[in-house]
Amino acid sequence: MKILVINPNTSNGVTEKIASIATKAAGPQTQLDFITAPYGVPYIATRAEALIGGQAALEILADHKDEYDAAVLAAFGDPGLGAIREMIDIPVVGLAEASLLAACPLGRNFSIVSFSSNLEAWYQECVEWHKMEQRLASIRMLNAPFSDINSVQSELEDMLVDLAQKAISEDKADVIITAGAPLAGLASKVRDLIPVPVVEGVAAAVKMAETMCVLQPRTPRMGAFAQPARKPSKGLPPSITRLFGGQTT
Amino acid sequence: MKILVINPNTSNGVTEKIASIATKAAGPQTQLDFITAPYGVPYIATRAEALIGGQAALEILADHKDEYDAAVLAAFGDPGLGAIREMIDIPVVGLAEASLLAACPLGRNFSIVSFSSNLEAWYQECVEWHKMEQRLASIRMLNAPFSDINSVQSELEDMLVDLAQKAISEDKADVIITAGAPLAGLASKVRDLIPVPVVEGVAAAVKMAETMCVLQPRTPRMGAFAQPARKPSKGLPPSITRLFGGQTT
Amino acid sequence: MKILVINPNTSNGVTEKIASIATKAAGPQTQLDFITAPYGVPYIATRAEALIGGQAALEILADHKDEYDAAVLAAFGDPGLGAIREMIDIPVVGLAEASLLAACPLGRNFSIVSFSSNLEAWYQECVEWHKMEQRLASIRMLNAPFSDINSVQSELEDMLVDLAQKAISEDKADVIITAGAPLAGLASKVRDLIPVPVVEGVAAAVKMAETMCVLQPRTPRMGAFAQPARKPSKGLPPSITRLFGGQTT
Amino acid sequence: MKILVINPNTSNGVTEKIASIATKAAGPQTQLDFITAPYGVPYIATRAEALIGGQAALEILADHKDEYDAAVLAAFGDPGLGAIREMIDIPVVGLAEASLLAACPLGRNFSIVSFSSNLEAWYQECVEWHKMEQRLASIRMLNAPFSDINSVQSELEDMLVDLAQKAISEDKADVIITAGAPLAGLASKVRDLIPVPVVEGVAAAVKMAETMCVLQPRTPRMGAFAQPARKPSKGLPPSITRLFGGQTT
Amino acid sequence: MKILVINPNTSNGVTEKIASIATKAAGPQTQLDFITAPYGVPYIATRAEALIGGQAALEILADHKDEYDAAVLAAFGDPGLGAIREMIDIPVVGLAEASLLAACPLGRNFSIVSFSSNLEAWYQECVEWHKMEQRLASIRMLNAPFSDINSVQSELEDMLVDLAQKAISEDKADVIITAGAPLAGLASKVRDLIPVPVVEGVAAAVKMAETMCVLQPRTPRMGAFAQPARKPSKGLPPSITRLFGGQTT
Amino acid sequence: MKILVINPNTSNGVTEKIASIATKAAGPQTQLDFITAPYGVPYIATRAEALIGGQAALEILADHKDEYDAAVLAAFGDPGLGAIREMIDIPVVGLAEASLLAACPLGRNFSIVSFSSNLEAWYQECVEWHKMEQRLASIRMLNAPFSDINSVQSELEDMLVDLAQKAISEDKADVIITAGAPLAGLASKVRDLIPVPVVEGVAAAVKMAETMCVLQPRTPRMGAFAQPARKPSKGLPPSITRLFGGQTT
């Protein structure tokens, strides 16, 4: 199985964190490649940034989909996932999506815990897009300063554990999702400090992509993700122009 | 009141249709300007096209927001509306949004009727994003061929009226929304052929934008649309780079 | 456009407050008239009082509907709105309804803030009747004494601003609706003291009524608000007897 | 136990039907009295008629509540039930309410079947007010003519049985509610013609009122049905004026 | 009417508490019998214990259903109720079910209050199985030690009253359900200490069983509780083997 | 990874079908063992049979959990899954659960298709227990006779494909789940006959169990699946007696 892991953020440090966890999670027959977004922001936190990151991911997939069996969209919030899913004919799994789904067999309700309240509105809409609100206990966000996105995980570890505790005792979460690619790896570190299961999203996403490879789903010809008719466009990047169906004459 | 009407499609013919209806609906003190997307597709129908159209609209607003009191995003499906709303400090109303809201005082449930089943999945997600599913009776789409997006309205008028009848009798719709900018103007034409109210979306959107001008809402400093912190980016169009907060150093 | 604004409360002081705000909000081509309920209570706060106020509004509209293009039912809670909508063949907009709808483009969730916990159960049912609970963050009510319904707004202003703050920080409201006709005008006064948009309901209702005039919806012959068959009655006020279809023989 | 059964319709023939079924259902220690609304319409079918019927029932209860342990509001649709419940300090059970609740132990989903599509919108809102939509399979209504409200039951019996069959096979109803006081007694007549349980609403309502007498619930001092503060009014019928708290000085 | 009350717990002391309240609630024509589960746990608190208790109740009913007109499953949580309902052709009412349904005419929302947080997850799933979450304000559980399940009611009475108060003031409960057979009788004791109605579940269940006897529902041949086809089994207790349809050959 | 696959049905033929698919899906480092229920029914189809099958699965896990890293409960409907999850300290994945979760990245809505309408009510409740109704398009069941549960798959293949087509075109399913262990293997056979992805549940369950092994979730000490306190019991099978905490003294 060849799986492409796309980091729609521009930060290479984040890609490295993702790669380290993803590699550990992958089965022996899985080959993983990693691509970092060539344009955009270091770390996507808002709907506007997700609009950009979604387009970057779509371009990457337009160029590379034929080389892979499946892909992982490795930003919690799953930027552009709907667009990708209707245009790209290999299975693509979102980091948030895989985290939410993997949390389900571990409890009735999960809470999402992360490091910046800027992310909250976007994460909330992501859970709603996946129609998983019925299992969402809460989204809890820190508002503490940190010096660097690459070290945010260790800088705020203690506060994130406390926040998870609050989600469990006050919001009745049965499972904690430590959300956001910069927190990749945190789940196993804090495993014994939190009294309920903690989901490592990157690992869940890699395993879900492997699951898709095994299921070998056909490309839908009907339904919400049937590939749309080809359509001319103008002024778009070459890979998207080709993906959509050529240029306006 | 100065209101900017943005057509995120690249089709000037559609912009003209919108302009004609919008001008009739506007109050005497309203000044309307119209801008057509410089890049993208002639008519947005899918999530991938909406990703592109949303960015085009965001660029237009980044450049022009200071000249207007409010704006209308004149594509049903409201591409990029969430992103726009958190970044742009004037009120922006979506064509779908205004149609759904205007339908509410006219009945318990509305149906959305349009000309291409390609649009259905995206429209469904749009209604869900607005959290209005509780009032959605159905989305009914034609699958008939038509020769030109600029004349689709007159080509398919009879079939659209039949489809609306089915939505009323089979899905219990109390109100019909004839969706999509290419159908601008149809509502008043078929008014007496359909036994329930029909919403003219462009008119509803212009009036909702005027309402926003009267309400003079402040820019939120908290909540789901509080403007996010400025953030460096790389490789983005100049207007978006400025809007986000400058280039990565 | 001729719009009738009905105050289903018996308090003329409240009618004056409504008129002052409504007049400012109306467009230059709008003519507004105001009628106060001839019987009932000074300020409707409960379902039982709403039953009475709804009948008073229905009588007023039975007598005057032919003189107007649209009407506003100017009591938050929208007493009798369903009954009015099925019997009266001009568009009628509720004060609560218009406030909820106008809040939608301003945020994901709104909170309703008002001066008396007596109102809470009725307001809650009103939001549910409009099927807008998905966007309701909370209803927050003061329990503080005040001397006069006509001055409750200024007496409790500071406490209402504090209550709005709580709705924002604790209930995650993106928009505040200061509910109830006695609070007409408060929204613009406290605009800069509250970190999210505040909806002035009376203004929203006038603009929504104007929107309905522009949309010119036909009277439904099918659906949930189709006018019912005429029916004889006995012992009812003359205007209602006529509206229903004559007296039992 | 003394239970008052109120028919908020003005038709004595309907009261007799109700009385016949109610008497059979009541336990040996239950005393039933019946009052027919002195004003209104022969048979309530719409929200406007329910507004009137609700006031009539409120007046009857204001005059007679001290003589009874509980009351039944014997019109499906439960006109004025919320208003009654907050003002009247004995338990009052609605005919629709009791039918819905009694249907629950008999199946997962129920359908409401009745004789006139005029009733549908009001019944739908009634189910929603009781927050029982999750268990509603469908509302199915005949549109057939009938000569007299007092004989509608026998005139349309065969068609109603057919309609119930459709609700079972097409809408997956596990239980049928034959709704509306004019259909009192039908359930037992058609019991063996319909392959699922059929709820006799009047019987269910009498038993629910007896249940309330046994439970002896206290009058709430808090919550959604706490009795509101006394309030002056003007121009209202004497019994309502007293109930609300006296006349405006 | 002959009604069998089944205690699926093995504790005879709990059966006695149930019998004392049930006998007071029953009408003069009702004959009640009581059976305690011959195997299982003294007091069911979890899903696993409910699996066992459900089977015990099913065996008791398989042996005794022909002697009774209806039955009560007297453990809050209603262990095995779905299984019982599809296999047993007399009406069977659950203790939780009857409590939830009886709470409905007494308020908009109810809270469930009980003595051990171990019970919470199971109770929550029970409310969801009955599709009554829309009316659930909260489940509030003590975590205090007690010496004996037979005296838990008096040992923790004061703390349970305090907990109910919190459910009313913080969770907006209009009605309190003191849940669990060991609390049978508490509702009437604390009636005047709690400002909203308190439901005595055992009384509600007996009255609901009597109501079912009066309604005489037919055994469903279609729908979610239609009796399934007979099926051979192996290794099951004799009464269940017979109920299912005989042994595997 | 050692994974135990439990067939809670008594049919060895079904176990063989499951084993054949499971073995193909498992990764190279996974060791699978299979156990068939020693008592119960050949094929669980109802809530009552699920009560028995759930206990059988609980007994098997009580005896064998220490030998495995995770387990699969290989009956669609997931009998006893809640009970198992709170008592057993290794991850256990249900066949229905894994199918529903794996369907999510493949479409917005899924339909469940199977061979006997007897299964429908139980499957419906299973989807609700997993809180996945928001993504359920429909459950479609055949009512055709078949000669043997071991060959039902090939006997009814054509009719099941037709049924799936109806779910897609009439119920708007984006994904088909061919439900029930006797249909194991059908998904890949009909892959190219159905225009949307088809989920092979057994494969999905094995991959989800492997995912759980990689995530290494800790045993919850709080929340809805925290292991309950040990409790004495009487009359239960030895393995369950031990699991619960010993015999009543």
Q: How far apart are CA D92 and CA D98, in angstroms?
A: 10
Bridge partner list, F83: none
Q: Which of C195, C200, C222 sits opposite B195 (nearest CB)?
A: C222
Q: Which of A196, A30, A2, A210 is nearest to F208 (CA)?
A: A210
What single letter denotes the amino acid at residue E219?
A: T
Residue E228 to residue F125, Cβ atoms within 8 A: no
pLDDT of residue D246: 72
Q: Which of A173, A203, A221 sits opposite F223 (nearest CB)?
A: A173
Q: How far apart are CA A96 and CA A126, in angstroms?
A: 8
User: Under 8 Å CB-to-CB from F27, ≥6 apart: which residues?
Assistant: A27, A28, A29, A210, F1, F210
Q: Name the burial class of residue E200, with classes exposed (0-12), middle (13-18) and buried (19+) by CB atoms within 10 angstroms of its CB.
A: buried
Q: What are B62-115's pLDDT values in tens digits?
A: 999 999 999 999 999 999 999 999 999 999 999 999 999 999 999 999 999 999
Q: Which of B83, B120, B229 sits opposite A51 (nearest CB)?
A: B83
**Mutate: best of E214, E219, E221, partner D, most D CBs <10 A:** E214
Q: Which of F52, F223, F231 sits opposite E236 (nearest CB)?
A: F52
Residue F83 to residue E48, Cβ atoms within 8 A: yes
Residue E51 to residue F83, Cβ atoms within 8 A: yes
pLDDT at D225 over 70: yes
Q: How far apart are CA E188 and CA E205, in angstroms?
A: 15
Which chains have at least 3 CB atom pairs separated by less than 8 Å from chain D?
C, E
Residue A199: φ, ψ to 5°: -90, 125
Residues of F with CB under 8 A from a CB of E: 10, 38-42, 45-52, 54-55, 58, 80, 82-84, 86-87, 118, 120-121, 124-125, 128-129, 223-225, 228-229, 231-236, 240, 243-244, 248
Q: How far apart are CA F125 and CA F47, in angstroms?
A: 9
Residue E27 to residue D25, Cβ atoms within 8 A: no
Place of tokens 């995120």: B8
Q: What are D183-192's pLDDT values in tens digits?
A: 999 999 999 9
Residue E224 to residue D174, Cβ atoms within 8 A: yes
Measured between alpha carbons, how far is residue A231 from residues B16, B152, F77 in Å? 22, 16, 44
Residue B62 has a CB neighbour count (10 Å cut-off) of 21
pLDDT of residue A143: 87
pLDDT of residue E7: 98
Q: How far apart are CA D26 and CA D49, in angstroms?
A: 29
pLDDT at D26 over 70: yes
Q: Which of A48, A234, A243 sits opposite B86 (nearest CB)?
A: A48
Q: What are C106-161's pLDDT values in tens digits?
A: 999 999 999 999 899 999 999 999 999 999 999 999 988 999 888 999 999 999 99
Q: Which of B97, B106, B203 sits opposite C214 (nearest CB)?
A: B203
Q: How far apart are CA D196 and CA E225, in angstroms?
A: 9
Q: How far apart are CA C125 and CA D25, in angstroms?
A: 33
Residue A29 has a CB neighbour count (10 Å cut-off) of 11
How close does chain B come to A72, measured CA to CA in Å?
18
pLDDT band at C170 (very low <50, low <70, confident <90, very high): very high
Instruction: Give CA F87 to chain center in angstroms.
Output: 18
pLDDT band at E246 (very low <50, low <70, confident <90, very high): confident
pLDDT of residue A31: 98
Residue D83 to residue C48, Cβ atoms within 8 A: yes
> Which two three-digit tokens encode residue E109?
């929302």
pLDDT of residue B96: 98
CB E246 within 8 A of CB E106: no
Q: What are C62-81's pLDDT values in tens digits?
A: 999 999 999 999 999 999 99
Q: Is B141 helix (H, G, I), strand (E, B) or coil?
A: strand
Which residue ranges in chain F fall short of pLDDT 70?
A: 247-249
Task: Identify the DSSP state of C174.
Answer: S
Q: What is the mean pLDDT of residues B13-41?
A: 97
How close does chain B come to A87, measured CA to CA in Å?
7
Q: How far apart are CA E189 and CA B45, in angstroms?
A: 65
CA dihedral B51, B52, B57, B58 (to 10 degrees): 70
Sign of CA dihedral A4, A7, A8, A10: negative
Dump the DSSP string for chain E.
-EEEEEE-SS-HHHHHHHHHHHHHHS-TT-EEEEEE-SSB-SS--SHHHHHHHHHHHHHHHHHHGGG-SEEEE-STT-TTHHHHHHH-SS-EEEHHHHHHHHHGGG-S-EEEEES-GGGHHHHHHHHHHTT-GGGEEEEEE-----S-TTTHHHHTHHHHHHHHHHHHHHH--SEEEE-SGGGTTHHHHHGGGSSS-EE-HHHHHHHHHHHHHHH-PPPPSSSTTPPPPP--BBS--HHHHHHHTSB--
pLDDT at B184 over 90: yes
Q: If you average pLDDT over every residue of chain C, what do you get? A: 96
pLDDT of residue D171: 97
pLDDT of residue D143: 87
What pTM was estimated for this model as a whole?
A: 0.97
Residue D109 to residue E224, Cβ atoms within 8 A: yes
pLDDT of residue B143: 87
User: Under 8 Å CB-to-CB from D103, ≥6 apart: which residues?
Assistant: D110, D135, D175, D177, D197, D199
pLDDT band at E249 (very low <50, low <70, confident <90, very high): low
> Which two three-digit tokens encode residue B56?
């085009």
Name the percent of chain B lying above pLDDT 70.
Answer: 99
Residue A105 to residue F29, Cβ atoms within 8 A: no
Which residue ranges in chain A fall short of pLDDT 70?
A: 247-249
> Which two three-digit tokens encode residue D29?
């220690």
pLDDT at E133 over 90: yes
Residue E238 has a CB neighbour count (10 Å cut-off) of 11
Place of tokens 């469990």: A168
pLDDT band at C248 (very low <50, low <70, confident <90, very high): low
Place of tokens 């003209």: B16
Q: Is A107 helix (H, G, I), strand (E, B) or coil?
A: coil
| ipTM exceeds 0.85 | yes
Q: Which residue of B has its CA nearest to A120?
A: B224
Residue F128: φ, ψ to 5°: -65, -40
Residue B148 has a CB neighbour count (10 Å cut-off) of 10
Q: Is C45 helix (H, G, I), strand (E, B) or coil?
A: coil
D in contact with C (at least 3 C-beta pairs within 8 A) = yes
Place of tokens 């549940």: F201
Instruction: Give CA A238 to chain center in angstroms.
Output: 25
C176-204 burial, b at 16+ Cβ within 10 Å, e below that, comes to: bbbbbbbbbbbbebbeeebbbbbbbbbbb
Place of tokens 């009524």: C209
Task: Assign 3-class secondary structure to chain D.
Answer: CEEEEEECCCCHHHHHHHHHHHHHHCCCCCEEEEEECCCECCCCCCHHHHHHHHHHHHHHHHHHHHHCCEEEECCCCCCCHHHHHHHCCCCEEEHHHHHHHHHHHHCCCEEEEECCHHHHHHHHHHHHHCCCHHHEEEEEECCCCCCCCCCHHHHCHHHHHHHHHHHHHHHCCCEEEECCHHHCCHHHHHHHHCCCCEECHHHHHHHHHHHHHHHCCCCCCCCCCCCCCCCCEECCCHHHHHHHCCECC
CB C5 within 8 A of CB C75: no
Residue B216 has a CB neighbour count (10 Å cut-off) of 15
**Mutate: best of F52, F118, F248, partner E, most E CBs <10 A:** F52
Residue A228: φ, ψ to 5°: -70, 165
User: Under 8 Å CB-to-CB from B154, ≥6 apart: which residues?
Assistant: none
